[in-house]
Every structure is written in structure tokens, then in C-alpha cells.
Amino acid sequence: DQQVKQNSPSLSVQEGRISILNCDYTNSMFDYFLWYKKYPAEGPTFLISISSIKDKNEDGRFTVFLNKSAKHLSLHIVPSQPGDSAVYFCAASEWGSYIPTFGRGTSLIVHP
């Protein structure tokens, strides 16, 4: 049973608009969340993270929102750029755990 779910396998957005990638989780013990970006033929690279004590974390064009009651987090990219086209993975960890659980990823395509 998937504990981290990314229900949208793909998302297409126009350049300059907002991209919103969603992630749901089922394990209430998760308290740290990360987003990774992956280009073809490369390994994932860390993008942004958030602790459960916060509901928002912002880094430049990237903002992650966490709704603990709904067990939902989202990644906002504003404005979207063609170079943002990649697969985005959501991951979650429990306190004291060293092994994050990954979702299946969402493929984002940003059209010029």
C-alpha cells in the first residue's frame, strides 16, 4: 500500500503560469517532507523540504505547502519556466528514520 501518493502522473503548464504539484500521504507519523526533481538520465536532485512544525516553506520560485490535517502537501512553482520540465518526486520521513518513502512522481511539462 502506497504511503506517499502522487495521483497525477503528468501536468502540462504554460510558461509564466503557476505549476501546482500535489502529494498525499497516509502515515500520520511522517513529519518531514521533501521534493526532488529528476531530469531524464540523471539522478533526482533535492529541491525543497518542509518540517511538520511549519505549513509553508519558500525558496525563490518554489513554495511547499503542508496541510497536516488533510495529510496533503503541494509544490508551487511560480512563474513556471521550460527548464522546470522534469519529473517531481514527493518524499516523506518519520522522526528518527533515515529512509524516506517516495511517491511515484509527477511529470511536469512547461510549454514555451
Partner 1 sequence: GAGVSQSPSNKVTEKGKDVELRCDPISGHTALYWYRQSLGQGLEFLIYFQGNSAPDKSGLPSDRFSAERTGGSVSTLTIQRTQQEDSAVYLCASSPTGTGSYNEQFFGPGTRLTVL
Give the whole-angstrom CA distance, residue 33 versus residue 110: 24
The minimum distance between CB 34 and partner 1, in angstroms, equals 7
Q: Identify the burial level of 91 via C-beta atoms within 10 angstroms of its C-beta, where 0-12 means exposed, 13-18 middle and 19 or more buried.
A: buried
The minimum distance between CB 69 and partner 1, in angstroms, equals 22
Measured from the CB atom, is 36 or 85 closer to partner 1? 36
Which residues form the interface with partner 1 (CB under 8 A)? Answer: 2, 4, 6, 9, 32, 34, 36, 41-46, 49, 51, 89, 91, 93, 96, 98-105
The minimum distance between CB 1 and partner 1, in angstroms, equals 13
Please enumerate in sequence order all residues whose Cβ is within 8 A of that of 99, keeping only pairs 6 or more positions apart, or say none. Answer: 93
Q: Can you tell me whether residue 82 is helix, strand or coil?
A: helix
Measured from the CB atom, is 31 or 84 closer to partner 1? 31
